Amino acid sequence: MSKPPIKPKLPKSPSGCPMDSLLRLLMGQWTCYILWMLCTNGPLRFGELKRSIPGLSSKVLTERLRMLEEARVIYREHLSTIPPQVTYGLTDRGKELLTALDELFAIAKRWCKEDEIHSDN
């Protein structure tokens, strides 16, 4: 007998606002950066993802990945090999964030460039 599909779960918003729920999910420490790495690199194994984000602890990465998986933004693929292989990637839901993340990246590059120009003066 197969398990019933798990209903996606966004964090609860005290106000009941959908935007608040989405922002509560995305604004957790490292969360957008984890999503950006999966967007730009495609599916990654846990160790690859951890190495690609300097300063991110295994504990926090595990917490964020579980939260994103619970919200159905990423998927987790586990292969029973020795050693076990666990790969994470974006779901269709996660891919809906690509445009927003691309825009944030463009703004980040522009602001960094502006800051460099102003710091030289």
Q: Looking at the predicted structure, is the pLDDT value of residue 114 above 80?
A: yes
The model's pTM is 0.84
Residue 40: φ, ψ to 5°: -85, -25
Say what the pLDDT of residue 72 is: 95
CA–CA gap between residue 89 and residue 62 (Å, rounded): 14
pLDDT, tens digit, 9 for 90 and up, residues 42-63: 999 999 999 999 999 999 999 9
Give me the mean pLDDT over the 87-91 stretch.
Answer: 97
pLDDT, tens digit, 9 for 90 and up, residues 15-41: 888 899 898 899 988 999 999 999 999
* Domains defined along the chain, listed by start: 18-119 (1.10.10.10)
